[in-house]
Amino acid sequence: MSVDTANARSLFTESEASAIRADFPVLSKPVHGKQLAFLDSAASSQKPQQVIDVLRRYYEEENANIHRGVYYLSQIATQKYEDARETVRSFINAASLKEVIFTAGTTDAINLVASSFGRTFLKEGDEIILSTMEHHANIVPWQLMAEERGVVLREVPITDKGELDLAAYHEMLNEKTRLVSLVYASNSLGTINPVREIIAAAKAREIPVMLDAAQAIVHMPIDVQELDCDFLAFSGHKIYGPTGIGVLYGRETLLNEMKPYRGGGDMIRTVSIEETTFSGLPTKFEAGTPNISGAIGLAAALDYVTTIGMSRIADWENSLLEYGTHRLAEVPGLRMVGTAPQKVGVMSFVLDNVHPHDIGTFLDQEGVAVRTGHHCTQPIMTCYGLPATTRASLGIYNNTADLDALVDGLKYIVKVFS
C-alpha cells in the first residue's frame, strides 16, 4: 500500500482503507466460516505483506551473522542491521544512533533500565514513581530492583475515568525521587497520559523519566527530543513488525554512565580472564548474536507506517474509536472501563452477568477476535474491583464493519445469557 499524501491529515478514503487491509494476508482468511474481525492489536498486531517479504528475503538471500564477518553475506546483513537502527533513530527522532538499543521487546528494554540504571544510580531509600496504570512489565522489574537495593516504589493513583491523578503525582516528586517510569498510553484503558506535563515536572527537579511506549508508538507520532524523555521503550510486534524485537531509546549521557545489562560477545572491547573492557554505545547493551532479522523486519514495518503517515493513522483510528464507542453504547448491560477523553484505540468493557472469557469464546465463533482477562494490568483490575475485562483494540487495518461485527456479536450474547 502506497499513499501519496505528503502525510496530509485526513481520513483514509474507502479505496485506501481497502488497500491497506489487503496488505495483511491473514485478514483474508475466514475464521469459523466468518470474515475475520481482528480486534486484538494491542496484544500483537498483524503483519503486512511488505514486512513478510523482507523477512523472507533476508532468510533466503542475506542470512549471516553480523559485525565481524569479512565475507559478502555478513557485510550485507551487518549493513541491513545498522540501516535498521538508523530507521528507528529517524522514526523517533533520536539525536544519535548511539541512543538506539535493540532489545527483545518493551519488557526486555524496561528490565535493561531497571537493572543497569538501578545498579548504577540507585541506593537504599531512593524512590521510583510508577502508577496504578502500569503494565506488569513496568512494575515487576522495579520490584526486583527495589528488593535488591532497598528502593521505595511509589504509586500514582488513577481516577474513575482512568486518568492519572496529576495532583498526587506532583506531590510525590521530592528530593528522594530518582526516576519516574510511567506508561505513555494504557494497554487496558486506552488512556493517553499527559507525558509532557509529567516530564516537565520531573525535569524541574532534574529527575529522569522513562516512558513505556509499547501502545503509544503505533497510534501517534513520537519525537523523543521534543518529549525530552530520558528513556523510551517499545516493541516491534505492536507496530506491524516481528515478535522478539524491540527498542530502548536512552539519553546518551545516561547510557554512557550505566553498566552493561548482560555480558557476552559483541559488547566487549577486550577480554582476559582477569578483566574485560566494554564497547561503546550502542553495542555495550547488545550482548550476543542479536535478532538480526527482527531488526530488519522492524525497519520495514516503520517504513510501512511512515509511508502512510502516522498522523493519518491516528486520525483514522480516532474515527474508529469514536464510532466503536458509540456503537457499544447500544449494547444492553455494557459498561466501558476507561473513559478518559484522550485515548488510543482501546475499548475495554464488562457485560452484566457474562464473564469476559465467555464473551471472548462466543465472539470467536462469529469471527471476532478480542482479548479477555486482566491484560497484565492487575492493579487496574483491583482498582475497579474487576477480575477481568473484554478488550477490543484497533489497528490500521480495521474498519467500521469490524466494529459492527463486534456489536452484533455482543447483542447476540446478551440474548443468549438473558
Q: Where among 242, 271, 306 does a domain terminate?
A: 306
Q: State the cell numbers at 56.
A: 523472507
State yes or no: pLDDT of 1 exceeds 90: no
Do 126 and 226 belong to one domain? yes
Do 302 and 405 belong to one domain? no
Q: Where among 271, 306, 341 does a domain terminate?
A: 306
Q: Beta partners for 235?
A: 246
Look up residue 318 and give its DSSP letter.
H
Residue 250 parent element (H or E) = strand 246-250
Q: What is the C-alpha to C-alpha distance for residues 317 and 320, in angstroms, rounded to an integer? A: 5
Look up residue 170 and give its DSSP letter.
H
Q: Which of 144, 328, 310, 177 is nearest to 239 (CA)?
A: 310
- Number of Cβ atoms within 10 Å of the Cβ of 171: 10
User: Quick check: is 111 in a domain?
Assistant: yes
For the ranges 27-31, 65-69, 91-95, 360-364, the lowest mean pLDDT is seen at 65-69
Are 324 and 278 within 8 A, CB to CB?
no
Q: What value does the mean pLDDT of the chain take?
A: 96
Catalytic residue among 19, 31, 55, 376, which?
376
Burial of 390 from C-beta contacts in 10 A (0-12 / 13-18 / 19+):
buried
Do 34 and 87 belong to one domain? no
User: Quick check: is 163 in a domain?
Assistant: yes
User: Quick check: is 288 in a domain?
Assistant: yes
Q: What angle do CA 190, 209, 286 make, to 5 degrees?
A: 95
Q: State the cell numbers at 106.
A: 518493551
Do 83 and 227 belong to one domain? yes
User: How long is the chain?
Assistant: 418
What pLDDT was estimated at residue 268?
81
Q: State the cell numbers at 17.
A: 482503507
State yes or no: pLDDT of 314 exceeds 90: yes
Q: What angle do CA 248, 251, 255 make, to 5 degrees?
A: 80
Q: State the cell numbers at 324.
A: 466503536
Do 162 and 127 belong to one domain? yes
What is the domain range of residue 180?
53-306
CATH number for the domain spanning 347: value is: 3.90.1150.10
- Looking at the structure of the chain, the number of domains it has is 2
Helix axes 400-417, 310-328, angle to 10 degrees: 20
Residue 393 parent element (H or E) = strand 389-393
Do 409 and 299 belong to one domain? no
Q: Which percentage of the chain shows pLDDT scores above 90? A: 92
pLDDT confidence bin for 279, thresholds 50/70/90:
confident
For the ranges 29-38, 101-110, 194-203, 256-265, the lowest mean pLDDT is seen at 256-265
Q: Beta partners for 392?
A: 347
Do 232 and 317 belong to one domain? no
CATH number for the domain spanning 159: value is: 3.40.640.10
Is-catalytic flag, 376?
Answer: yes
Do 27 and 79 belong to one domain? no
Q: Quickly list DSSP for 46-113.
A: ---HHHHHHHHHIIIII----SS--SHHHHHHHHHHHHHHHHHHHHHT-S-GGGEEEESSHHHHHHHH
76-82 — which CB contacts under 8 Å span 24+ positions? 77/292, 80/292, 80/296, 81/290, 81/292, 81/295, 81/296
Do 355 and 380 belong to one domain? yes
pLDDT confidence bin for 3, thresholds 50/70/90:
very low
Q: Where among 306, 334, 360 does a domain terminate?
A: 306
